[in-house]
Amino acid sequence: MKGTLEFLCSSDPVAQSLREAFIFKIIPMLNPDGVINGTNRCDLNGEDLNRQWSKPDPVLSPTIYHTKGFLYYLNSIGRTPLVFCDYHGHSRKKNVFLYGCSLKETLWQSGSSVNTMGLKEDPGYRTIPKTLDRLAPAFSFNSCNYLVEKSRSSTARVVVWREMGVLRSYTMESTHNGCDQGIYKGLQTGTRELQEMGLKFCHSLLSLTKDMKALYSPRTINHIDLDHKSHNCFEDDEPPCVEQIEYSTDCPLHNGTDLDSDVNSNMARADEKEEDNDEGHRGGTLSRDSNGQSQQSIKSYLFPHLMKQTSSEKRSMCNSVSANGQIMS
């Protein structure tokens, strides 16, 4: 988080490009009481705050309650985040990786009898992981996971994906155990490497702008290491599907423009034509209507005060990025 904040507030040309393209909404920490007492996972009540997002209690989990309310507010005024990322530490797995959400991959790996051949899903949730695999030496694309398990149904990434319709909703897990790949192989991660990862995550957001050539402009080319190919580990220390899978039909379906067949090929050719992708352009938004009624009922149940609010004038839509130990973009 420190690396993210310092980079975005710097005079770096890439940071300036990002500030021009996105609105960043950052919550540096959701568990200050627990962290200051040495429990980075649980609060002072002994509760894992990342399991309280479905029905957060305003008294017992105030930070989660108000953050969720803030996200619903953004959704209600047409400013649904383009990206949501929750920064976490992982005590067992090595490297840095992302957990995302994909209905199609969940159905495939669960062995479900549901026919996914006709299921349309925007593959844009893989854009940031693919880009990070090129940019960040500590990042492992092969450790990323996009399953929606029932035991994770109350986590931030799943709730924001399901209830707010944010396609790129992630948990970024940073290892406590060092790396087993690339230039950091066999080394423990320190504050410098963690700050570098926060910076590289910001760099990866450029891949969501409409003009991919922004990555290669003379203004930014000298500030980004573009071809940092890592030697990814091909074994995940967690089974691909260890729990019962959640694949209810109220999960949002994302029908959008397909990405180019390979993000890496986009980044390798500076003269490639602009992607035909509405959701990444400046001034766009990622609002969903498919969940309308269920969303309204959930909102009125959890946040009745929000449902009574009316804005005198609906502001124009724009991209936003959210982060707490989170980033919303």
User: Which string of DSSP letters, residue by residue, matches 169-194?
Assistant: EEEEEEESS-BSSGGGBT----HHHH
The SS3 of residue 247 is coil
Q: What is the pLDDT along the chain (329 residues), one digit of tens a residue?
A: 999 999 999 999 999 999 999 999 999 999 999 999 988 889 998 999 999 999 999 999 999 999 999 999 999 999 999 999 999 998 889 999 999 999 888 887 777 777 777 788 889 999 999 999 999 999 999 999 999 988 899 999 999 999 999 999 999 999 988 999 999 999 998 999 999 999 999 999 999 986 445 444 545 445 555 444 443 433 333 334 444 444 443 444 443 334 434 344 444 443 343 333 333 333 333 333 434 444 444 444 444 444 444 343 333 334 556 656 666 65
End-to-end CA, the chain: 15
Cα separation, 186 vs 130, in Å, equals 23
Contact 257, 278 (CB under 8 A): yes
- For the question of residue 173 being annotated catalytic, the response is yes
Contact 180, 233 (CB under 8 A): yes
In which residue are the tokens 């352009």 written?
A: 281
Select which of 105, 121, 173, 246 is catalytic: 173
CATH 3.40.630 fits 2-309+318-328, yes or no: yes
pLDDT for residue 209: 84
What residue segments make up the domains of the chain, in order of their start? Answer: 2-309+318-328
In angstroms, the Cα distances linking 217 to 130, 250, 268 are: 20, 42, 13
Residue 64: exposure state from Cβ atoms within 10 A (0-12, 13-18, ≥19): buried
In angstroms, the Cα distances linking 142 to 11, 98, 157, 194, 249 are: 33, 10, 19, 19, 27
In angstroms, the Cα distances linking 230 to 8, 100, 184, 200 are: 25, 20, 10, 14
pTM surpassing 0.95?
A: no
Cα separation, 206 vs 194, in Å, equals 20
Cα separation, 44 vs 86, in Å, equals 20
Residue 135's CB is within 10 A of a number of other CB atoms, namely 24
Give, for 87, the enclosing helix (H) or strand (E). strand 83-90
Residue 34: exposure state from Cβ atoms within 10 A (0-12, 13-18, ≥19): buried
